[in-house]
Amino acid sequence: MPDLMIGSRRTGPPRTWRAAFFAGLLVMGILIVAYFIYRRSVSYEVPPGSPPRAPVVTAQPEPGSPPRLEYGEASLTWAGPIAVVRAAGDPHTIGAAHGRLLAGRVVESATQFQSAIDHAVGPGGWFGGWTYDMRVAWRHRFLDDGIPDLHRRAIAGLVRGAAATGARLSYEDVLRQQAALDVGAPAPWSHEVRLRRISRGLTIVMPQPGPTTGRVWVGRSFALPGVADGGDAAARLPVVSIVRPTGKKAWAGVGWPSLVGVVTGINQDGIVVTVTLGTGGDVQATRTARPVTLLARDVLERSATLDEAVKLVTETPTLGAASFTIVDGKTGRWAVVERSPTHTAVRRDPAEAAVGDVMVASVFTDDPENDRAARISPAPARARRASRLARTAPADIAAAAAILRDDRGADDGPLPAGHRGAVDDASAVQVVLIDPTAMVLWVSETGAASGRMRAFDLRHDLLGEGVRPTPPPDIAAEGEVERDRDAAVRAARAELRMARRLLRDDAPVRAAERVARALAHAPSLPEALALAGELARRRGDHDAARAYWQRWLEAGPDDPAMEQEIRAALGM
């Protein structure tokens, strides 16, 4: 009888597949848990709310008055090509009115701004395409934490209002786009890649003549050259918003269809706010802080005095870097609050009358990004020219508009059309004049300084004075030549954007054709001459490159960094 062996080891081949199977289950479980944690981290909770169920109808308030589109208590009218949206109520209702009345324009605008969010994330190597959307979401995971509930409800209302017309918008995309000016990246096919910014802005505070002291005009020019289409479709035709929020101050702002915040505005107490974006080494998308355009809206809705507005801006953490120009129309006093996530500087009634894209307070001297912008950008020269022009009070509102239309350099010599150092920015998407004492707003109907500037009576719109609005006369447009010039510059820059796209696709011959088309539109456009010279150099035609670059230097270079490179290439 064989011995009974208890606990003996069974012989046979090792069953490693079992271990592998359980290891795979463990890895799969970890991945599933990690995915749900990731989704929880990057998802934005959509605030509840329902748009008003009222239909959209056409109405004519008075015989002979222009028709308007009505949606509940909100309305849309047109001042030439300018859309004027009047809305009231809670944030969700106001947002829904904008989305419902502007409908497809909101989608068109949001589509162009999406590039600023998408291109803020790099390609990511071999597996970049698989993980791209995940990395975009991860980079912006904290944005909604820095946006107050009332603004998130306004964004949700905008999306739901547009959706009611059949337009398709993503709440996540529109929310991120409210921070595009703070942490977005310029489109790779725009010249702004060199400057690492999306917008270009200028604010000028000009004294008014007359026996009454302390009255000022505020001039404003704002462009979006770093957006996918250069602002041509995203924001070319301005939107004037007349907003009466429940329990807050009424305000008027000039923006674009998908904007919930404010870049240029005035409230019922005559407080003017403009936002000019800057750059800062401490700007990070992963911070929990307020986008600057939403902070500007807070200022309009909550501030009755200059001191209240300055305090609100200085005490609120900002996501991006910007200069807030705040003017009190009742006293004529004004201040510039320069903000970055970690630094703040306040200048009250500064000697320089113009505020540009570079922050000038001493606290920002050591900021590497701000210092870089000061060295390679034409913004400082542009601001100096505007300040010099504004030292003497303009004789009237037409003379104030002439400052915004100035196209000369520091030496009073003429600059070529489209020169980025000129006060008159041919790429502008809004040019505005504000009289905060008289409560009058003038807005260019073409987005550029050369256009006719329509007047709006804010005493009626914001204060309810008078049976009907009685604005002063509009400011006449410049001559046909100037308007044609601006249109030619826009067409040329559209060709240049396509040329840079083709260069990214390694198609230099087709890119050169696009540059040639740009020069046909605007032969002296500095941006086109510089790129034409670069393409000639790449194909080995050094004589042509030298000729283009000489023309660029003679016309007046508008890129200080590129000027050094070109002079070095020419041996100058």
pLDDT at residue 237 greater than cutoff 60: yes
Calpha distance 183→116 (Å, rounded): 8
> pLDDT band at 36, cuts 50/70/90?
low
Q: In angstroms, what is the C-alpha Rg of the chain?
A: 27
Q: Say if 47 falls within a structural domain.
A: no
Q: What's the confidence (pLDDT) of residue 451?
A: 92
Q: What's the confidence (pLDDT) of residue 1?
A: 46
> pLDDT band at 125, cuts 50/70/90?
low
In degrees and rounded to multiples of 5, residue 298 shows phi and psi of: -60, -40
Q: Say if 16 falls within a structural domain.
A: no
- Supply the angle between the helices 104-118 and 149-163 in degrees, to the nearest 10: 120
CB–CB of 554/563 below 8 Å? no
Entry field: residues in the chain: 572
> pLDDT band at 154, cuts 50/70/90?
very high
Of 36-40, 187-191, 295-299, 504-508, give the lowest mean pLDDT range: 36-40
DSSP string over 356-402: -SS--SGGGTT-HHHHHHHHH-SHHHHHHHHHHHHTSPPSSHHHHHH
pLDDT in tens, 432-480: 999 999 999 999 999 999 999 999 999 999 999 988 899 999 999 988 7
Mean pLDDT of 551-558: 88
Mean pLDDT of 133-158: 93
Q: Say if 538 falls within a structural domain.
A: yes
CB–CB of 283/182 below 8 Å? yes
> pLDDT band at 7, cuts 50/70/90?
low
AA letter at 373 = A
Q: What's the confidence (pLDDT) of residue 327?
A: 98
DSSP state of 475: B
Which residue blocks in 84-170 are alpha helix, DSSP H? Answer: 91-102, 104-118, 128-139, 149-163
For the entire predicted model, the pTM comes to 0.92
CB–CB of 346/355 below 8 Å? no
How many domains would you assign to the chain?
Answer: 1
% pLDDT > 90, the chain: 75
426's CB contacts (< 8 A; 6+ apart) are 417, 418, 448, 485, 486, 489, 490
Q: Say if 167 falls within a structural domain.
A: no
Q: What's the confidence (pLDDT) of residue 8?
A: 53
List the structure tokens of 47.
Answer: 């605030």
Q: Say if 308 falls within a structural domain.
A: no
More confident residue, 321 or 556: 321
Q: Say if 529 falls within a structural domain.
A: yes
Q: What is the 3-state secondary structure (H, E, C) of 410-422?
A: CCCCECCCCCCCC
pLDDT in tens, 490-528: 999 999 999 999 999 999 999 999 999 999 999 999 999
Instruction: Compute the mean pLDDT over every residue in the chain, rounded to the nearest whole number.
Output: 91
Helix H or strand E segment including 174: helix 171-177
Q: What's the confidence (pLDDT) of residue 3?
A: 55
Calpha distance 351→469 (Å, rounded): 36
pLDDT at residue 179 greater than cutoff 80: yes
Q: Say if 395 falls within a structural domain.
A: no
Calpha distance 435→442 (Å, rounded): 9
pLDDT at residue 45 greater than cutoff 50: yes
Calpha distance 45→238 (Å, rounded): 31
Mean pLDDT of 377-405: 94
Distances (CA, A) of 434 to 121, 206, 273, 404, 428: 38, 10, 11, 12, 17
In degrees and rounded to multiples of 5, residue 429 shows phi and psi of: -105, -10
Q: What's the confidence (pLDDT) of residue 10?
A: 53
Mean pLDDT of 61-65: 74
- Domain with residue 493: its CATH number is 1.25.40.10
Query: Residue 539: which domain range?
Result: 485-570
Which segments within 125-270 are labelled E, that is strand?
A: 200-207, 216-223, 239-245, 251-255, 264-267
Mean pLDDT of 480-496: 90
Q: Say if 26 falls within a structural domain.
A: no
548's CB contacts (< 8 A; 6+ apart) are 529, 530, 532, 533, 536
- Alpha-carbon dihedral angle through residues 154, 159, 161, 162, given to the nearest 10 degrees: 140
Which residues are registered as beta bridge partners of 200?
223
In degrees and rounded to multiples of 5, residue 402 shows phi and psi of: -65, -30
List the structure tokens of 186.
Answer: 């310029």
Q: What's the confidence (pLDDT) of residue 13?
A: 54
Calpha distance 56→71 (Å, rounded): 5
Distances (CA, A) of 132 to 139, 394, 505: 11, 52, 19
